[in-house]
Amino acid sequence: MPELPEVETIVRDLRPHVVGSRVEALVHLNPAVVRYPDPGDVAVGLEGRTVACLGRRGKFIQLWLDSKQELVVHLGMTGTLTLEAAAAPLRTHTHLRLGLDSGSELRYRDPRRFGRVLLGTESELEQAGVMPRLGVEPFAPDFASGLAAEVLRTSRRPVKAVLLDQSVIAGCGNIYADEACFLARVRPGRRAWRLSTSERRRLLAALPIVMAEAIERRGTSFSDYRDGFGAKGQAFESLFVYGRGGRACVRCRSTLRQVRIAGRTTVFCGRCQS
């Protein structure tokens, strides 16, 4: 599933090809994926606009237009946002096609439809209540000293639940929560407030490390994730624990345990992570 490293890879892929392009037409839209505004108004806001810049906040892709509006795309579990030739064969579950003046098309596809699309100004989306309040970015300079550290220090919830909370840490999902816990040698089921200062510091240091590594490998494609050009990422092969329950720990060779924490499948090493 697309988490911060996957979304970042897509944004970096698309940016040089999309910024400065004019949206000639909204070729195809599945109204069901539009959460705001009324689907009928999306074409009006997009057609004829130029893409001013492309950004990311947490797991949200932000495509800023010269109108000060932004097209916000959340990929959910199975979403992809790819640049393709306008004549390229159309895959099933393609919900949005944006024809660009470059001759290419920006295509949003999402079989499970857990993703969503928004269009509006920043304040408009906030007022409409469709854009959640997001926590700190793992690559922000003050990440390890800010909100995330404070919540981890005081929350009685499991560490894993805090890591997954988008209002605390923006962009962390199931994969990198488990990876960070492994690298920091912290059990994901521990109550956050019971971590020692050293454990908490290790955990906060680990998250940007595992994410940076994943970005270098262009993201984790264990199922649906694809980069901005439709290709798979290579990070899955280098993950420590995610998807490896029952197999040997890469550090101590003992069998990795798989449990459910905060409603999510969680894998950790019972020997390395205390």
Q: Which amino acid is at 265?
A: T
Q: Is 2 a catalytic residue?
A: yes
> Which residue lies nearer to DNA by CB, 1 or 23?
1
Interface with DNA includes 153 (CB under 7 A)?
Answer: no
Across the strands, what pairs with 25? 99
Query: What is the sign, positive or negative, of the torsion defined by CA atoms of 167, 172, 178, 181?
Result: negative
Closest distance to DNA from the beta carbon of 176 (Å): 10
Interface with DNA includes 264 (CB under 7 A)?
Answer: yes
> Which residue lies nearer to DNA by CB, 223 or 274?
223
**Which residue from 123, 127, 145, 223 is in contact with DNA, where contact means CB under 7 A?**
223
> Which residue lies nearer to DNA by CB, 100 or 168?
168
Whether 179 and 196 have beta carbons less than 8 Å apart is answered as no
**CA-wise closest residue to 23 among 122, 102, 109, 118:** 102
Interface with DNA includes 263 (CB under 7 A)?
Answer: yes
Of 2, 5, 138, 188, catalytic: 2
Q: Which of the ranges 11-19, 196-204, 211-219, 256-264 carries the binding residues for DNA, by CB under 7 A?
A: 256-264
Q: Is 217 a catalytic residue?
A: no
d(CA 268, CA 274): 10
Q: Is 232 a catalytic residue?
A: no
Q: Is 49 a catalytic residue?
A: no
Give CA separation, 101 vs 15, 22, 47, 50, in Å.
Answer: 15, 5, 11, 10
- The dihedrals phi and psi of 209, each to the nearest 5 degrees, come to -70, -50
Of 49, 59, 160, 218, catalytic: 59
> Which residue lies nearer to DNA by CB, 99 or 208?
208
Q: Which of the ranges 21-29, 44-52, 71-79, 119-127 carries the binding residues for DNA, by CB under 7 A?
A: 71-79
Q: Could you give the string, one character per residue 182-221, with x where binding to DNA holds by CB under 7 A and - elsewhere?
A: ----------------------------------------
Interface with DNA includes 123 (CB under 7 A)?
Answer: no
Interface with DNA includes 58 (CB under 7 A)?
Answer: yes
Q: Could you give the string, one character per residue 87-106, with x where binding to DNA holds by CB under 7 A and - elsewhere?
A: -----xx-------------
Interface with DNA includes 59 (CB under 7 A)?
Answer: yes
Closest distance to DNA from the beta carbon of 21 (Å): 27
Q: What amino acid positions are annotated as catalytic residues? A: 2-3, 59, 264
Q: Which residues bind DNA (CB under 7 A)?
A: 1, 58-59, 74, 76-78, 92-93, 111-114, 132, 155-158, 161, 164, 166, 173-174, 223, 262-265
